[in-house]
Structure formats: C-alpha cells, structure tokens
Amino acid sequence: MNRVLGEHVFPAGETLQLVEGDLTQEEVDAIVNAANAQLQHGGGVAGAIIRQGGSEIQIESNAWVRQYGPVSHAEPAYTSGGKLPCRYIIHTVGPIWGEGDEDRKLASAIGGSLRLADRLQLTSVAFPAISTGIYGFPKERAAGVIYNSVRDYFGKDSTSGLKLARLTLFDQPTIAAFLKVWKSSGFFTQSV
C-alpha cells in the first residue's frame, strides 16, 4: 500500500506529495514512465510498468514511435494505462548523467509531462524519480530539480486543471535522499 510521507500545498491549492510505494499501483489519472527515446520498455520503471500493465502498452508505444518518431525530453508520449489503475501513461525521456545540461533536461521532462497531463485534462499524476536509477542522476540533486520544476509549473500556469502531483518512490536510498532535501529545504508544508 502506498503511503504519503509528506506534502507541499502551493498557493493556488495544487499539492505535491512524496509517496513511498509502487508507482504501478497509483490510483491517479496518469503515471509517468521514465522511458528511452524509442519507448522500448525493458528494465527499471518501464519494465515494471509493462509487467504489471500488459503488453498492450508496448504495442501502443511502438505505434507512437512509428507515427511521431523518437520521444524527446520536452515532448513526452502517452499511451493507455493498460491493466494499471491509471487511465494513461506519460512516457518521458530523462537525461543520462554526464551527457551535459542534465538539470535543464530533467526540468524539461517534468514540465513536458505536466503540460501533457494538462492537455489530456487530467487532475492527478504520479512520477518516479526520473533518471536517478541506471541513468545515474544524483538523487539529492534530482530532488531539488523535480520540486522546483513542479513549483515553477504550478506557479506559471493558473489555468492548470492538475490538482495533485505525486512523486512515488520505492527504494529506501531514493526515499532517504528526497526526504533529506525536501525537509531541509522547507519544501514540506506538512509531514504525514
């Protein structure tokens, strides 16, 4: 069962939550998949999504790439949620640590996912810690970039229909890194 560890409520009422649990079990409108540009979902978060959500997600992903081409940091793709409890999966490409301009690329992936969620008229979305696994993005640094990206999005777009963004983490080292940064920076307006 997923458990909220803390949250921040922004001035317009949107909420960002830090959640311990399984992204594939999130009961939100969309979850975000940390994908590669070709949407080949083999390992990590993407592999877990396919295992839980079914092969139709890969079939839809292949069709997306055939029609629109590779996915970029700023322009994610989307598919149905397959057998998952969410309606959609937003597939975004995070940066590989060491390729250059990583902070901007991660911020772009978060912002692009939020914009797509708004275009789909969604009210809730859950993210993994994009790029902090095999792509090597330092967890504490990612915690700040992700928080600031969500804050900037909610601060700039007063017409957003999104009301809830969740960062859903499953492993203790990532949870510890995000808790450390978010607590020490005063990001939490409430700890649960």
At 62-98, the pLDDT tens digits run 999 999 999 998 999 999 999 999 999 999 999 999 9
Arch. (CATH architecture) of 3-189: 3-Layer(aba) Sandwich (3.40)
Residues 173 and 139: beta-carbon distance below 8 Å: yes
Q: What residue ranges do the domains of the chain occupy?
A: 3-189
What H or E segment, with its residue span, contains residue 93? strand 88-93
Query: If pLDDT is split at 50, 70 and 90, which confidence band does 183 have?
Result: confident
Cα separation, 35 vs 76, in Å, equals 9
Query: If pLDDT is split at 50, 70 and 90, which confidence band does 38 have?
Result: very high
Per-residue pLDDT at 190: 57
Per-residue pLDDT at 26: 97
Query: If pLDDT is split at 50, 70 and 90, which confidence band does 184 have?
Result: confident
Per-residue pLDDT at 192: 52
Residues 85 and 22: beta-carbon distance below 8 Å: no
CA dist 124 to 13, 35, 68, 82, 120, Å?
A: 13, 20, 25, 17, 11
Residues 153 and 5: beta-carbon distance below 8 Å: no
1 or 79, which is more confident: 79
| pLDDT of 170 over the 80 cut | yes
| pLDDT of 42 over the 90 cut | no
CA dist 66 to 50, 59, 83, Å?
A: 19, 11, 23
Query: If pLDDT is split at 50, 70 and 90, which confidence band does 188 have?
Result: confident
